[in-house]
């Protein structure tokens, strides 16, 4: 099966944006993935390895499924008609062209959506928070291109529409004041922001991941070894991001690797936490309290204690 991968490095509005685009089919591979999409996935539900490794089902058994939590996927849009997503989809916005729906043409946003909130049904796969409310906020076009103005407007839309968590699986190389200001506006309203570290092969994590109160995430594989794509720098946590199964365009599925797919694992985990914060000892939904909970549920990896590769460690409910 043919796979086309393209690394887009482009300058838009004087901002260098690095985005990894995918052109994949139902059975697809990316960066030498070692597994494929199950051939019976349309008839029988598959539990992704990430769900088991993070012990998420223990939280489901306690009634925590993300129900009632509003999560924005700030990305390339979402295939809202996907059978595994349709029950959790809500009206979002196409920031690039508000007169049209936030349709996904790259598959990236749809993949993120499935990791966070694919429904718990009898087919396909299940997301970390299978009853969460998903809101697509399209800030990247059909080529995966976007600019800071679109991201800023998307953040303001989230503030106006009561979004509780924003997933940003993208990175830019340099700090941009207008991006930082927009993120600070969201943070001041209590919105939680999770960002993937850049797929930089040991270089810096980029932005928005490097901002202090944004949760930044690196990818690990099922053996808890760091991904070859991982960044160094301001990393808060590590999560599954290698050989990740999720939803793709046209009702399909794919297996892909990258830091982009580690961030939504943490997004889903936080959605479970927000459903009943008191169960985790959270009395005030501040960044610091949530970070403390995630740290308490993290397995230390790499150098003892916090480090700039694994962060506080691998988040899992043990």
Is 122 annotated as catalytic? Answer: no
Distance CA 247, CA 189 (A): 31
Q: How would you label 201-232 residue by residue, b for 16+ Cβ within 10 Å and e otherwise? A: eeebbbbbbbbebbbbbbbbbeebebbebbbb
Is 108 annotated as catalytic? Answer: yes
Distance CA 98, CA 156 (A): 14
Q: Which of 75, 104, 147, 243 is catalytic?
A: 75
Q: Is 65 left (phi over 0), alpha (psi -120 to 50) or beta?
A: alpha
Distance CA 311, CA 246 (A): 25
Is 150 annotated as catalytic? Answer: no
In this structure, are strands 15-23 and 4-12 parallel, antiparallel, or unpaired?
A: antiparallel
Q: Which of 82, 108, 150, 248 is catalytic?
A: 108
308: enclosing H helix or E strand: none
Which has the closest alpha carbon to 16: 139, 140, 147? Answer: 147
In this structure, are strands 70-75 and 93-94 parallel, antiparallel, or unpaired?
A: unpaired
Q: Which of 119, 246, 260, 298 is catalytic?
A: 260
Helix (H, G, I), strand (E, B) or coil at 141: coil
Q: What tokens appear for 36 in the block?
A: 């494929």
Distance CA 229, CA 197 (A): 9
Question: Which stretches does DSSP call E strand in the chain?
Answer: 4-12, 15-23, 70-75, 93-94, 133-138, 165-168, 171-172, 192-196, 215-220, 237-240, 244-247, 253-256, 298-299, 314-315
Helix (H, G, I), strand (E, B) or coil at 135: strand
On the 0-12 / 13-18 / 19+ scale of CB atoms within 10 A, 12 is middle
On the 0-12 / 13-18 / 19+ scale of CB atoms within 10 A, 262 is buried
| Active site positions, annotated | 75, 108, 260
């Amino acid at each position: 099966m043919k796979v086309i991968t393209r690394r887009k490095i482009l300058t838009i509005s004087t901002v260098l944006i690095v985005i990894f685009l995918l052109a994949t089919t139902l059975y697809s591979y990316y960066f030498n993935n070692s597994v494929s999409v199950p051939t019976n996935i349309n008839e029988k539900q598959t539990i992704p390895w990430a769900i088991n490794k993070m012990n998420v089902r223990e939280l489901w058994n306690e009634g925590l499924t993300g129900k009632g939590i509003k999560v924005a996927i700030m990305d390339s849009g979402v295939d809202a008609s996907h059978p595994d997503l349709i029950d959790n989809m809500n009206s979002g916005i196409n920031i690039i062209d508000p007169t049209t729906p936030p349709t996904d043409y790259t598959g990236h946003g749809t993949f993120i959506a499935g990791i966070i909130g694919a429904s718990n049904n009898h087919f396909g796969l299940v997301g970390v928070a299978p009853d969460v409310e998903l809101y697509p906020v399209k800030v990247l076009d059909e080529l995966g291109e976007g600019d800071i103005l679109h991201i800023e407007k998307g953040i303001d839309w989230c503030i106006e529409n009561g979004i509780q968590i924003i997933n940003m699986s993208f990175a830019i190389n340099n700090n941009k004041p207008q991006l930082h200001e927009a993120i600070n506006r969201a943070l001041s309203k209590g919105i939680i922001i999770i960002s993937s570290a850049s797929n930089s092969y040991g270089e810096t994590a980029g932005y928005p991941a490097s901002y202090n109160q944004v949760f930044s995430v690196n990818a690990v594989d099922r053996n808890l070894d760091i991904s070859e794509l991982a960044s160094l720098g301001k990393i808060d946590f590590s999560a599954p991001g290698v050989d990740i199964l999720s939803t793709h365009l046209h009702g399909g599925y794919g297996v892909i690797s990258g830091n982009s797919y580690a961030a939504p694992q943490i997004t889903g985990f936080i959605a479970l936490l927000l459903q009943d914060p008191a169960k985790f000892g959270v009395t005030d939904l501040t960044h610091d309290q949530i970070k403390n909970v995630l740290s308490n549920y993290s397995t230390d990896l790499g150098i003892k204690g916090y480090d700039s590769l694994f962060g506080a460690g691998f988040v899992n409910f043990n």
